[in-house]
Structure 1
Amino acid sequence: MGRTALRRIIDHPDLELAGVYVYSPDKAGRDAGELVRREPTGIIATSRIEDILALDADIVIHTPRITLPYEALSGDVERLLASGKNVISSAGFHFPDAHDEDYAGPLRAACEAGGSTLAGLGVNPGGFVERVVMAATGFSSRLDHLDVREMVDASQMTSPEFVFGMMGFGRDPQKDDIRKGPLATLYTKLFSEVLAHAGYAMHTRIRAIEPDHELTIAPRDIPTGAGPVPAGTVAATRWRWTAHYENGSSFTLSILWTADPALHDGETGGHWVVDITGRPNIRLTLDIHEGDPNIPSSRALTDATMAAALRGIPDVCAAPPGFFSYPAPGAYRTRLA
């Protein structure tokens, strides 16, 4: 995400790069352009957050890899906000009010101290459900159930840390049931923001959330860009939650990440398939893909995520201090008042 964001910022005629923070020590001290195959920019990358805090910048595009625990990224973001910089993140912060005040309170206080705004923008979380799916619910005169199913092909992803760490592939389910461990907690916190934002759009609140996660075990060794997934270990994870709302509607969000789409017959209809059950019934599909089969399929989703983040810059900068999210136009409501 970070390299894509940096290229887009350097190339954009309306954006001026003010600074670059890097997590890898070997990138510190190098010109930003050199890091992403661009001409020199005169901006030297730093691994000291103090250098970023001291900058005169309008906004920070925050693109670290999501990590354990979910709250681990909050400290840096709070410092950025308190220094007077707006923040758009692709690694959470999509709807902080989904969590308790111990999480949301310091972020809100940092916004107030710096007169700044925090937004989490992307595709999912941070875009597709909040802005597209919820708008489609406005065609419902009665909404009984919302079902959103995402499928991501991870076979060409090249980062072992991400594929075997954060995605949980290659784990022995007999020794490490990731459905009940730290990864399940992380993704519940992340995607509960989608469920809570849906309730916010419908002018209702969540009554309960029920998890129902599944693992698919590799029937054979499966090659991936990050290395082989051994037979008998986790080759796919389906993170799934159902939220029940006070207005009587429910919402099942299912996130399927797989090392081999062929393991899932009949589930290759696109990145997302949405069924809105009620009166009337509505189905949506969305597929974000590359036109060139020689390019890794994951690039398209990265491009879309960064496009959403950068498009949000003028809106976030113009927003009042606090938390920002795009409203879903005309989302379903049981009451109009």
Structure 2
Amino acid sequence: MKPNKTCGNCSNNFFKKNLARWTDTINTHLTNILKKLSCPTELKKSVDYSLMAGGKRIRPILCLAWAEMLGLEKNKILNFACGLEFIHTYSLIHDDLPSMDNDDLRRGKPTNHKVFGEAMAILAGDALLTQSFELMANNPIKPNYILEAILQVSIAAGPQGMVGGQVLDLSLENQRQTSLSQIQEMHRLKTGALLEVACVSGAILAQEVGASKTDIKNASIYGRNIGLAFQIVDDILDVIGDENVLGKPVGSDIRQGKSTYPSLVGLEESYNLAQKIIQNALESLQNYKGNTKIFLEDLANYIIERAH
């Protein structure tokens, strides 16, 4: 992969402006949620520290974008989308713990447990996870669609999804022989499941305004493919990325004995594979129209061309 490679579509002003618009909307709503949060001061500081430390907000953006493309007003599901960011942030706090990946930096700042201690970091993650379901349950959408979407999120975030993927990740450390299929399954669960369900939940909630089962299937295809591509690029960036841009040390996968796409098939083939997977995602959008469809196309390309 060429580290300075840029995506023509992703670098245009349309994509940049819309990405900033989506991100600002989410950050504003997250700030408002935190203002209303009533809990012990130190816990609130710990939650705020990680939740508002930056980040691309890809998961809530995907949820809102799929819903909007299918005709649902995004303001109706801001709580739901932000609940996905709560889950993602909890997973990062716990992944960084000494008993897991033992990382010192996240988004260019000391990890949560380095600032607040291991016990408070665990509790902050617990608080984010549990409050995420409060947020997802509190949206002005028909209860049956809310329940359907929450069910899919709980599957994606739990033992059949993200948590199960983390277990597989730990089990594959320092293994002498790891197959590509094992790596793909681990990433499908650890990273891909939450990205996929972000798209799927947006489509499920858009049933409120007439979205179909075909739309939900297309959202699943799109999300599954960008999820896999996202992790492949993460593996690549751990080898060739700029630590100052990434906000975390490079080479941590090698030091921890992790099996990655570059370690199995090489950098160039890893990037070629990511490009092929993104094409599968783009094909799922071919029957849609409008600016949000274009944004989702550019977002897919951004995922494989990003520098962090």
Using structure 2 for the length normalisation, give the TM-score: 0.29
Return the structure number with greater strand share: 1
Structure index of larger Rg: 1
